[in-house]
Amino acid sequence: MFLTKLALKNLARHRNRTLITASIIAFAVFFYLLLDSLIGGMTEMSYEMIINYEAGHLQVVTEEYWEEEEKLPLKNLITPEPELMAVVKNVPGYLGSSAELNFQAMVSNGVNELPVIGRGINPQDFSGVINLTDYFVEGEMFHAGERRAFGVSPAVIGKRLADLLKVQTGDYLTLLVKDKHETFNTIELEITGVIYTGNPLVNEGLVYIPLDVAQEALAVGDQVSKVLVRLENKNRAPGVAKELAGQLQAVNPQLAVYSWDQLEAVTVAGAKQMGNRLIMTIILLIAAIAIINTVILAALERMEEIGMMKAMGLQTKEVIYTFVLESTGIGVLGGILGVLLGLAGVGVFTVVGLDFSGIIDMAPYGIPVVGTIYGVWNPFSFVTVFAFGVIVSLFSSILPAYWAADKDPIKAIYPR
């Protein structure tokens, strides 16, 4: 008990040193928490981007299509029959569903051609799953059955694509596609709306056209690539997917249901986060080295004190105990300080956010995020990083304390 008291007293006696060392730990903890919150926010946001602008929460497709989806084939499509849609609409937490037909295309403005993904949609159903209303920078979404003059189809494209093609609302484009029989076909388009969303794919690689126009041009009858479903809560998606898949077996045994977390884009985003975690680990390592350094120096500086303690009859292990306890105390102090700062910092981050669009455009680097990134709360990080600070302080003090305590008291008191 005496030793514990001594250690705590030491903390108070060497106030400056305690504060400086603790503030280093606090800074490491704080910095980690901020970054962690930001990375978490980025992950969350890239998931939201995929869910909100591309994929919805669930996708009903045939297994064969899902395997080859990258190529956007016109084979293994599904027919959204009433029985199928009735089952889909009955899933728990259902908000909306939309059938879409995706296809490879070349878009031409008469001068240049660019490869794009064409997406045939029914605007009403589509808005129930993916709401683009707030993202129109020009014009608006076309209406069901809408045709422009001379039978030209309306189309909505992304802002970046519009800029690349140097077109705007009211301009005409030609979409060159290959139909189900591999025969070229063209779709004449008039741009009725230009959108700018947080999703780079939507901004530069997608052309939305009415579903019936796409179906006719691609000669696929009333078939679609997939049916997207939006639920009330994205966390329920994996469970609901299983349930729906079971129910759909009765309608069409070839159908499969995939939830948003099974999407390749999500997996890729997740893999990128792993890379970020690695960077975080390196940051922690650097923080650990700083802490170790400070603790070692503090111990060495007090060599005489250790010598005196030993001369007064303390055993080696008792000296080590005192020092380790003292150092752990500094770790706890620093940890608490860091967590408090972290709470404030993350709190600010979640409310204010960080506007990346003003700094750099992240899209070319493959981060599907545009605009402001908000932090997220991650209680687990608070606990782990606090524990990290304390444990590193504890372990890093053992060796120098042992080294000093093991010395002959006379040499420790008078090292020269």
Partner 1 sequence: MRKTTVCVAFSIILTLILIAGIFPVAFGALTAEEIIRRRDDNEYYDSAKAEAEMVIINRNRRIVKTMTSYAQGDNGLVVFTNPRDRGTKFLKRGDDLWMFFPDAEDLVKISGHMLNQGIMGSDFSYQDMMEADKLIDLYKFELAGEEEFDGRPCYVLEGTAIEGKEVSYYRRKSWIDKERFVGLKEELYARSGRLLKVMTVTKVARIEDRWYPLEMVMEDKLRKDTRTEFVIKEIEFNPRIPEGTFTLENLR
Q: CB 257 → partner 1: shortest distance, Å?
A: 26
Of the candidate residues 115, 145, 347, 415, the single one contacting partner 1 (CB under 8 A)? 115
Of the candidate residues 12, 183, 271, 359, the single one contacting partner 1 (CB under 8 A)? 183
Of the candidate residues 48, 64, 138, 188, the single one contacting partner 1 (CB under 8 A)? 188
133 binds partner 1 (CB under 8 A): no
Q: CB 130 → partner 1: shortest distance, Å?
A: 24
Q: 154 or 331, CB closer to partner 1?
A: 154
113 binds partner 1 (CB under 8 A): yes
Instruction: Give the whole-angstrom CA distance, residue 122 versus residue 114.
Output: 24
Report the candidate in 392, 397, 399, 398 with the shortest Cα–Cα distance to residue 288: 392
Q: CB 184 → partner 1: shortest distance, Å?
A: 4
Q: CB 105 → partner 1: shortest distance, Å?
A: 8
Strands 153-158 and 184-195: parallel
Of the candidate residues 1, 12, 111, 312, the single one contacting partner 1 (CB under 8 A)? 111
Q: Which residues contact 179 (CB under 8 A, 6 or more apart)?
A: 74, 185, 217, 218, 219, 220
Strands 113-121 and 206-210: parallel
Q: CB 350 → partner 1: shortest distance, Å?
A: 42
Of the candidate residues 82, 181, 274, 313, the single one contacting partner 1 (CB under 8 A)? 181
Q: Tell me how far apart the terminal alpha carbons of the chain are, to the nearest angstrom.
A: 34
Interface stretch with partner 1, choices 83-91, 185-193, 253-261, 337-345 (CB under 8 A): 185-193
Of the candidate residues 76, 104, 372, 378, the single one contacting partner 1 (CB under 8 A)? 104
71 binds partner 1 (CB under 8 A): yes
Q: CB 177 → partner 1: shortest distance, Å?
A: 9
366 binds partner 1 (CB under 8 A): no
Instruction: Give the whole-angstrom CA distance, residue 335 versus residue 390.
Output: 7
Q: CB 114 → partner 1: shortest distance, Å?
A: 10
Instruction: Give the whole-angstrom CA distance, residue 221 versus residue 237.
Output: 30
186 binds partner 1 (CB under 8 A): yes
Q: 186 or 267, CB closer to partner 1?
A: 186
Q: 16 or 183, CB closer to partner 1?
A: 183
Q: CB 92 → partner 1: shortest distance, Å?
A: 38
Of the candidate residues 44, 48, 140, 179, the single one contacting partner 1 (CB under 8 A)? 179
Of the candidate residues 6, 187, 241, 288, the single one contacting partner 1 (CB under 8 A)? 187
Of the candidate residues 8, 35, 95, 106, the single one contacting partner 1 (CB under 8 A)? 106
Of the candidate residues 112, 235, 293, 315, the single one contacting partner 1 (CB under 8 A)? 112
Residues in the chain: 416
Of the candidate residues 60, 191, 217, 367, the single one contacting partner 1 (CB under 8 A)? 217
Number of amino acids touching partner 1 (CB under 8 A): 25
Instruction: Give the whole-angstrom CA distance, residue 339 versus residue 41.
Output: 18
149 binds partner 1 (CB under 8 A): no
108 binds partner 1 (CB under 8 A): yes
- Point out which residues bind partner 1 (CB under 8 A): 71-72, 104-106, 108, 110-113, 115, 174, 176, 178-179, 181-188, 217, 219
